[in-house]
Amino acid sequence: MKHIAQLLFEACSLKRLPRSGYQFLGVGRESVAEHSFSTTFIAYVLSHMVPEADARKLITMSLVHDLPEARVGDLNYVQKFYLQADEGAAVDDMVHALPFGSDLRALIDEFNQGASLEARLAHDADQLAFLLELKALADVGHAPPATWIPNVQQRLQTDIGRSMADSILSTSSDMWWRQKFIDRSDHTQ
């Protein structure tokens, strides 16, 4: 039980680990845990849109895909050009004493290999989570996301991911509440 408690503390440390790419964007911030929540929720949505995918595997894979960053940090693309984290060793150390360690390792490995439908959808959920952040920043007037958005779109691997990206980019980030409360009240006055 001690090893499971340690894993839980390790996973919770992601709440305090900032995503490092925002320093180049010059605006925005997000912890790895915040990103993981968004990715997992998107995976949940995708699991309903792609019924042939194993929903539990897709959602779980999305939840744990960045867990190794508790040990190796969140290396952005510039850092990855100069450094290579030994994520495999980090995962080995993380899971070696867990009764479900081989399952956790298999999910992370499958995500990194990207060959299965669930891994491709989890990858797209990861990219769509970032795209949502970029779109929200652009919607409040920040210019840099406009140059990043095409790069994120190019990394999408599935048709449903590309379709979701198109919908995200054509929807105002505040429409979910404006449509009911602001726009409706404009017509009642």
Query: Which residue ranges form the domains of the chain, and what is each CATH number?
Result: 2-188 (1.10.3210.10)
Q: Give pLDDT tens digits for 7-39.
A: 999 999 999 999 999 999 999 999 999 999 999
- Phi and psi torsions of 73, nearest 5°: 85, 175
Distance CA 101, CA 13 (A): 19
Residue 78 neighbours by CB under 8 Å, 6+ apart: 24
Distance CA 137, CA 131 (A): 10
pLDDT of residue 157: 98
Question: Quick check: 187 pLDDT over 90?
Answer: no
Q: Binning pLDDT at 50, 70 and 90, where does residue 163 land?
A: very high
pLDDT of residue 162: 98
Q: Please provide the average confidence, as pLDDT, over all residues in the chain.
A: 95
Q: Give pLDDT tens digits for 63-104.
A: 999 999 999 999 998 999 999 999 999 999 999 999 999 999
% of the chain at pLDDT higher than 70: 96
Burial 2-33, CB ≥16 within 10 A → b, else e = eeeeebeeebeebeebebbbbeebeebebbbb
pLDDT of residue 180: 84
Name the CA dihedral angle for 160, 161, 163, 166, rounded to a multiple of 10 degrees.
170
Question: Quick check: 116 pLDDT over 70?
Answer: yes
Distance CA 93, CA 73 (A): 15
% of the chain at pLDDT higher than 90: 93
